[in-house]
Every structure is written in C-alpha cells, then in structure tokens.
Amino acid sequence: MTCTETEILLHALLDGELDAGHAREVEAHMADCPHCAVQMRAFRELQQAMPAAQLRFTAPASLRRRIEKAFPAAPQRASSRRSVLKGFVMGTALSTAMAASLVVAVFRTDQDQRVLGDIVSAHVRSLQANHLTDVQTSDQHMVKPWFNGKLDIAPPVVDLTAKGFMLLGGRLDYIDGQAVASIVYRRRQHVINLFVTQGAASESHAAQLQTMQGYNIRRWAAQGLEFFAISDINGEELQEFVEKFDAALHPPKGV
C-alpha cells in the first residue's frame, strides 16, 4: 500500500468504516511509515478535539411550533387510554403530541397495526428520551435477573457482542398496554430494541420483515414468547441479528 492510498484510507480507519482486511493493510503500512503514522495521530487528535454534542444547534421553539402547526390537527378523543401512556409521557410538548397521536392510532387500527405502532413509538421514545436502558450493562447475567419480578415472563438475554451486536442493557416498556421486556443492542451507531412479550404457547413462526415509518421490524415467535426486533439498520442486517440471536439461544447439539 502506498502513502497516497494510506493518507485517504486512514480516515476510513478512523471512522470505523474499513473492513478488517484493509484495516490490517493500513496498519501494516503505518507500522513501517512514520509519516503516515504521524498523520493518523494528527487526525485522531483533531477528531477528539471536536465534541459533536457542543457543535450541534438546537432548533428554536418557534420553528418547532411553525412546523407542528403545518400538520393537520389531531382529533381530540384521546383521554380514555391516557393512563396507559402515563408511564412514558416525557413532559415535553413534543412527546405529549406524540403520545396523543399514538393514542388515536391505538383506537383506530386493528390489533396487529396497534402493536406495530406501539413498537415503533416505543423504539423512537427510547432513542429520544435519553432512556434507552433501565439496567445498563453488557453482562447478560445481570440483565436477565433484572427482569425478575417485573414481568410474568423470563426473557432470554444473550450477549452478541462477539457477533457484532453489542448488548447495552435492558428496559421495561409498554406495548399495547402490557409491560414487556426490551433488550437493547447496538450495531455501529444503530440501536436495536428487541421487545419480548408473552405469546401463544403453541405458536412458533419464522421471522417476517415489516417496515413502518422507515424502521425495519422483524417479528417471530418461539417457545411461548413473541419477539419484535426493531431498528433503523437495513433489513438484511436485522435478519442477521435475528439469526445470531436464535443461534445463541439454541446452540447446535454436541458443540
């Protein structure tokens, strides 16, 4: 590998965008080339000196109102299901509006749509409300017991960090008025919420892909539990997650 190639590819390495093969080549080159090694350090230093959080802007409230006003007003028949939502209304005008719209959606759609809509809303909420996990640990043996006594199911928790899906922790959430377990994983910058609820004992079906509001959802049932994996990663990667999760739950016999 030449210095010219390295000077560009080191940025991909810095951004975690390089596959293992190329990463090894770049690192091998830098081990022999002080010039490129210095470049790498210089740009890492620059990246670390740029705290993204402080460089963001916050949209003015007046702009938020102008945009909200442009949407058709939501009908006012939300109150009777409000208690269901009490647990996760976050207090901001935004989440209140979202909760109200969710309530209306709950009334209008059939069971499946309602559950999927809840899944999407719970996922979005978990991302925006700084409440991704109630128990934050990458140790599966701490996440699983945490759910004890909080739910009438024992959700399976497996650590898939070695398989490219990092276990972040667990959270209690509400889907269709029912407390459910959410096990949270991360793939690069993408969060995957795996919701586990009680299903029909006999039911078992393979994963189906659905898309709602741009989120991919994989839904499957096994051993009396129903699983919903939702994320903004692409459908294939989400399927990969489902397969790795399943494989970790049911390791091949004799291994």
Partner 1 sequence: MLDQLQRQGPALSWKTGNDTMEGNGSDPHQDKARRFRDAALPYLDDVYTLARYLLRNTGDAEDAVQECYLRALRHFDTFRGPAIKPWLFAILRNVCRGEFARRSGGLHYIDQYVDGEADKDEDAVRPLWQESQLSPETEVLHQRDAQTIRRLVAELPDQFREAIVLREINDLSYREIADVVGVPVGTVMSRLARARSMLRKAWIAEEEPAT
Residue ranges that bind partner 1, judged by CB under 8 A: 1, 4-5, 7-9, 11-12, 15, 17, 22, 38-39, 41-43, 45-47, 49-52, 54-60, 63-64, 66-68, 70-72, 74-75, 94, 97-98, 101-102, 104-105, 108-110, 113, 117, 120-121, 124, 127-128, 188-189, 211-216, 232-235
CB of 122 to partner 1, least distance (A): 11
Distance CA 157, CA 142 (A): 9
Nearer to partner 1, 38 or 201 (CB): 38
For residue 100, count other CB atoms closer than 10 A to its CB.
19
- The CB-of-17 to partner 1 minimum distance in angstroms stands at 5
Instruction: Report in angstroms the alpha-carbon separations of 86 from 35, 140, 172.
Output: 59, 29, 14
Contact status, residue 133 vs residue 184, Cβ threshold 8 Å: yes
Please tell me the distance from the alpha carbon of residue 55 to that of residue 32, in angstroms, as a whole number. Answer: 36
**Cβ closer to partner 1: 90 or 248?**
90
Size of the chain in residues: 255
Which C-beta is closer to partner 1: that of 40 or that of 183?
A: 40
Q: How far is the CB of 125 from partner 1 (least distance, A)?
A: 9
Which of 100, 231, 87 minimizes the C-alpha distance to 173?
87
Q: ∠ CA 231-99-166 to the nearest 5 degrees? A: 25
Alpha-carbon distance of 147 to 139, in angstroms, equals 14
Q: Residue 35 CB, nearest distance to partner 1 (Å)?
A: 9
Of the two residues 21 and 254, which places its CB atom closer to partner 1 in the complex? Answer: 21
Q: Whole-number minimum distance, CB 77 to partner 1, in Å? A: 12
Q: Which is nearer to partner 1, 43 or 137 (CB)?
A: 43
